Structure 1
Amino acid sequence: MDARSYLFVPGDRPERFKKALDSGADAVVIDLEDAVAPAAKQAAREGLQRWLSTADPARLMVRVNAVGTLWHVDDVDMVRASGVSAMMLPKSDSAQQLADVAARLPSRIRIVALIETVAGVVAMREIAGAPSVMRLAFGTVDFCGDAGIEGLGVELDYVRSQMVIESRYAGLPAPIDGVTLELDDLARLTGHVATARRFGFGGKLCIHPRQVEPVNRGFAPSEDDRSWAARVLAASREHPEGAFAVDGKLVDRPVIERAKRIAEFDARIR
């Protein structure tokens, strides 16, 4: 649930599955939706079902086709019979939609709700509170198309803030930011990660293995973060009651909790 990088791999390209798993991505999303042409969807599903019967499902999830499409029901049935413990639902538009899908899945399978429509944004509080939802993700490109918004930067600041707030309110992990389309522009990717992290996001969708390492690095504590957290926690042990100062700045309970989160996250990824 604390995954930083979610790497998409086309569901009809099984020769790429191992490469995706070897990329260092925290989670690999085998995509039966946008990455697969309509004529290839049935064959992709059947091939994925065979592959999953022999695969380690630990870091895998499947993005099924959206509710109401010709392929959705069969996709969900395949996921239900597989060993995966997570599924990504595109165009998550309502809590009722999530409940209907979850009712067809065993309780061990949790759902990443991909918010990529205006309806999904309007219903985000109810979606985040749905019992089956493990995390929210932002489908920025599709959302802009639905909303008529041009641009993936400051034009989406309001929605990003709302997604972080609703995730926190529902007790979910920090949400997952959308893709960076430029595959060879490391500076742009790094900038997108930094912006998402400042807004309170905890991960990012990736569309190529080369994006994984910068994303993982960008959402991990920096050396300065680690050093600061260690100093704060050491000082808090010396001052178990009341506020104190570290590096000339006031430290109180919320600051100590942030330092603890950095130390705990750092321990998990090392």
Structure 2
Amino acid sequence: MALTTMLFVPADRPERFEKAAASTADAIVLDLEDAVSPENKEIARANIVKAILDKRTFVRVNPVQTDLFHDDLVALARAGCLNIMLPKAETTWELESVAAALGEDITVIPLIETAVGLDNARELAAHRTVPFLAFGSLDFALDMGCEHTQDALRFARQTLVFASRLAQKAAPIDGVTVAIDDYDHIKADAIEARHLGFAGKLVIHPKQLAAVADAFRPSDAEVAWATQVVEAVAANGTQAAKINGQMIDKPVISRAERILLRSSPNRG
């Protein structure tokens, strides 16, 4: 499951579903939580039951700690939904609750938004239903009482990357950027996430998709370097080579191969 962009769509706005599905987003997240007002929750659930939910469509339910969670699961069972994003995820018991309601084939993306969730990140990532974690940076900053800045949240981001690696799961997906029209700002945030080891980013508007995709796509210079490395090794016939006076060994070769894989349009 190679996802760089996950685009949120309010579940009470069904007229946006088809447009989102036709976008360049790698996955769509129909949102029953923050994007839907309390009076529209039931309408939103009905829209999901009627929607066509393919393998690239996720549904963000309301937190387990709320009275809305049970009704969400009932609707998703009717819809045959197999991909869930779970906000405020804190314990594996919550993941078990989802699996019990929707079946063992369910895929759950825990959204880490609290200090408790971060502390339990490794256990959450290791759960059988979880392919990767996601970071709810806005709510996490609120829970911690800190600013929503790169410096303030760097420890949390690094912890999620570390926990994912220890659990031998895919790299996590970073939280949203609130700016919609500022391409440079969005791209800078996404580059920071990429440098820390994230695989992609949550997106709140289609206008953000290009900036995030550009940030996670290797540059021409990186691709040229990686190609040179791989070709030199192939010509040398060993797992080591010398390029521009520098010794290229297995870790460098692996990095080059990873860059070329990310640059491929068919990487997923």
Q: Percent identity?
A: 41
- RMSD, aligned α-carbons: 1.7
Question: What aligned pairs does 1:25-104 form with structure 2 within 5 A after superposition?
Answer: 25-51=25-51, 55=52, 57-104=54-101
Q: Is the 8 A contact 1:58 1:84 kept in 2?
A: no
| Matched residue, 2:188 | 191
Q: How many correspondences in the alignment?
A: 267
CA distance in 2, matches of 1:93, 1:247: 49
The alpha-carbon deviation at position 103 of structure 1 amounts to: 2.4
Q: Is the 8 A contact 2:201 2:212 kept in 1?
A: yes
CA distance in 1, matches of 2:78, 2:221: 45
- Alignment CA distance shift 1:263-1:242 (3 Å): closer
CA distance in 2, matches of 1:246, 1:107: 50
- Alignment CA distance shift 1:256-1:75 (3 Å): same
Q: Is the 8 A contact 1:204 1:215 kept in 2?
A: yes
| Matched residue, 2:24 | 24
| Matched residue, 1:178 | 175
Q: Does 1:151 align with 2:148?
A: yes
Q: Is the 8 A contact 1:140 1:152 kept in 2?
A: no
- Alignment CA distance shift 1:247-1:110 (3 Å): farther
Q: Mind listing any 5+ residue stretches in structure 2 that lack a counterpart?
A: none
The alpha-carbon deviation at position 109 of structure 1 amounts to: 2.1
Q: Is the 8 A contact 1:141 1:152 kept in 2?
A: no
TM-score, normalising length: structure 2: 0.94
| Matched residue, 1:251 | 248
CA distance in 1, matches of 2:229, 2:81: 40
CA distance in 1, matches of 2:245, 2:53: 49
Superimposed CA distance per residue, residues 83-118 of structure 1 (whole angstroms, 9 cap, x where no aligned partner)? 443210001101222222222222332111100011
The alpha-carbon deviation at position 241 of structure 1 amounts to: 3.1
The alpha-carbon deviation at position 56 of structure 1 amounts to: 5.2
| Matched residue, 1:211 | 208
Tell me the amino acid that sits aligned with residue 218 of structure 2: P
CA distance in 1, matches of 2:261, 2:9: 30
| Matched residue, 1:168 | 165
CA distance in 1, matches of 2:167, 2:104: 19
TM-score, normalising length: structure 1: 0.93
Q: Mind listing any 5+ residue stretches in structure 1 that lack a counterpart?
A: none
The alpha-carbon deviation at position 235 of structure 1 amounts to: 1.4
Tell me the amino acid that sits aligned with residue 26 of structure 1: D
Q: Is the 8 A contact 2:226 2:257 kept in 1?
A: yes
Shifted more, 73-82 versus 13-22: the winner is 73-82
